[in-house]
Chains A and B, each alone.
Chain A
Amino acid sequence: MRYLIVLIPALLLPFVLTDFWLAQVLTRSLILGIIALSLSFLATYLGVVSFAQASLAGVAGYAIAYFGPNTVGIGVPLPFIVKLPLALLLAMIAGALIGFVARRSRGIYAIMITLAIGVAFFYFTRQNYVLFNGFTGFSGVLPPALGDRSWGDPRPLYYLSLGVAIICVAMVQGFVRSPLGLAVQAVRDAPGRLLALGIPTTFPIIAAFAFSGLIAGSGGILNAWFQERVSSFSVGFGPIIDILIISVIGGLRHPTGAFVGAIVYVILDIFAIDLIDRDRFNLLIGIVLLAIVVAAPNGLQQLAIDWVGALRKRAAKTPAN
């Protein structure tokens, strides 16, 4: 019911917005939000901050480029029905591997390990030409046709991204109420205690990372279609930090926070150029981030919820007429 308040406008927006707003603001926010959701999921439910989510998105993005149409003449074209699950599977396997490597690490150590993996992947994509086409990467990465149009057109891609975002949020909410999802949260709270229930801790950790790979990978594929390209820049320091910032802005209280964070970030990104020098964007985002962390330690979404709660209370105190 509460979701309809967001969902109905979201469905109607394409009829009122220009293509620029639809594609560059909303679709881009949805895609970044999906990738950030994979990080928020890990941070909230496993208690691990992973800097490797851009890499996981990249794995799926590169896979969809390698196995699909591209204009660089590298790769093995596969039918859509094969390459899509394959790309997602590869992102999940990559996630599982990262989970395995980081299985004993928490806090700062998990950050260091995943950051090292993310950076290593970035340099690897730049130097490998057989799979990743080095520095330039893949261009001409087109989504499948939609009748005589393309899924890449602004409206279809928006609806596709919206659908994927909803599915991802629903999957997160379902997963955290599953036995495996409960075990993941138990690892976060008291790993030794979980062991004393006879449940090994390594499997939930690996599963959580694999699941986050599925979500990041979904975003990564959409991102490749949105930009019609994937390259080392898609997995570099920029995206790694962007995803982290979006998660922090949105807060970790609820999976949908990632999308709030993404919209704020994208709007700042687009309109800051009008206000200040392009080179100063990092300064601006830094100040905004600082302000948000100070004013809303649990993220903007939680701040809004608190405000609404306070308003309701005040409304309840002053009875109508």
Chain B
Amino acid sequence: MPVSPVPKTTANALETQGIGKRFGGFWAVKDVTFSVRPGERRAILGPNGAGKTSLFNILTGDYAASSGSIRLFGEDVTKSSVPKRIKNGLRRTYQHAYLFDGLSVHDTLFLAVAGLRGGWRQILPVRKSDPRRIEAERLAEVCGIPEFLDRMVSDLSHGQRRQLEIGIALAEDPKVLLLDEPAAGLSPAERPQLSNLLLSLPTDVTVILIEHDMDIAFRTSESVTVLFNGQLMAEGTPDEVMANKDVHEIYVGGTHSE
């Protein structure tokens, strides 16, 4: 494992200042200011269409922010490319598994581990004993699909694809993990496994978790942010947030699918 550059102790892992994303005249995310400490476990709640995934897309650089600024360990990354933010330790999973269907699980995890570093050797076939392949095998173990290493990604079940998503996100020393509804579509039996996986992550990894499943969200997170109509509605400990009248209204009182 490469030694991670120690972030300035004062800097938050992630910090946004009034970020927003506009599609035409519609703000999917509007004026969101929040910060997450290094090592913190944060859940993001909100009804469908609240802007949670859009917020992730802004943080990772998949969407250019229409307003505001983003700091990653104190460094302004608002205008940085996706690969640059990845290099700084930001990782994400996708709500709708977005994977390389034509590759095997092993090759997918290998790519996540190896990237394209290492110069001209990248045109040579990968050897079986390559340490990066071994690391890929370890990741498959961690995310719970070691027996499917040789399977094509297109042949995986929905749940296995979700697990692979997490395996990819865990490659190469992640510092901030953005997980977009990792439990969606999992069977009741698989959900506790996911909670355990999240709880077993190294404590210095910062996790931001979008989750509709309250059980998982509250079991694995120490703080909660609630989004509504693209805006920040409430923030605090799980108890504080659940006591919030507005949150109660939209979340418990109201209906939402999923």
Contacts and interface: CB of A to CB of B under 8 A. Distances in A.
Give 6 nearest A-B pairs by CB, closest first. Answer: A198-B86, A189-B100, A177-B125, A180-B122, A198-B83, A179-B122
A192 B99 CA distance: 10
Nearest to A195: B82
B105 interface: no
Contacts, number: 83
Nearest to B169: A196
A83 interface: no
Contacts of B124: 174, 178
A251 to B, nearest CB: 16
A169 to B, nearest CB: 14
B110 interface: yes
Nearest to A187: B100
A319 B217 CA distance: 58
A85 interface: no
Interface residues of B, number: 30
Interface stretch (B16-24, B112-120, B181-189, B233-241): B112-120
Contact of B111 (A174, A182, A203): A182
A182 B112 CA distance: 11
Contact of B83 (A178, A183, A195): A195
A190 interface: yes
A117 to B, nearest CB: 25
B110 A179 contact: yes
A183 B111 contact: yes
Contacts of A207: 123
Interface in A132-179: 174-175, 177-179
A301 interface: no
B126 interface: yes
Given A177-B125, A178-B125, A199-B83, A183 B102 contact: no
A207 B62 CA distance: 24
A73 interface: no
Contact of A179 (B92, B116, B171): B116
A194 B216 CA distance: 29
B99 A178 contact: no
B99 A200 contact: no
Contact of B114 (A179, A194, A200): A179
A186 interface: yes
Contacts of A125: none
A186 B107 CA distance: 10
B102 A203 contact: no
A247 interface: no
30 contacts: A175-B123, A178-B122, A179-B110, A179-B116, A179-B126, A180-B116, A180-B122, A181-B123, A182-B103, A182-B107, A182-B126, A183-B111, A185-B102, A185-B103, A186-B103, A186-B111, A189-B100, A189-B101, A190-B101, A192-B98, A193-B100, A194-B100, A195-B82, A196-B86, A197-B112, A198-B83, A198-B87, A199-B111, A200-B83, A200-B116
Contact of B116 (A175, A185, A199): A199
B143 to A, nearest CB: 15
Contacts of B101: 189-190
Interface string B86-106: 110000101000111111000
A182 B110 contact: yes
Given A175-B123, A182-B110, A199 B115 contact: yes
B163 interface: no
Interface residues of A, number: 26
B72 interface: no
Contacts of B60: 196
A229 interface: no
Nearest to A186: B100
B168 interface: yes
Contacts of A190: 98-101
Interface in A193-219: 193-200, 203-204, 207
A197 to B, nearest CB: 5
Given A179-B110, A197-B86, A199-B111, A189 B99 contact: yes
Contacts of A28: none
Contacts of B115: 179, 197-199
A183 B113 CA distance: 12
Of B82, B94, B100, B101, the most chain A CB neighbours within 10 A belong to B100
B177 to A, nearest CB: 12
Contact of B126 (A178, A192, A197, A204): A178
B169 to A, nearest CB: 9
A207 B92 CA distance: 27
Given A193-B100, A196-B82, 13 more contacts: A177-B125, A179-B111, A179-B115, A179-B118, A180-B116, A180-B123, A185-B100, A189-B100, A192-B98, A193-B98, A197-B115, A197-B171, A200-B83
Contacts of B112: 197
A193 B93 CA distance: 9
A190 B164 CA distance: 15
A263 to B, nearest CB: 28
Nearest to A200: B83
A189 B101 CA distance: 6
Of B98, B102, B103, B108, the most chain A CB neighbours within 10 A belong to B102
Nearest to B82: A195
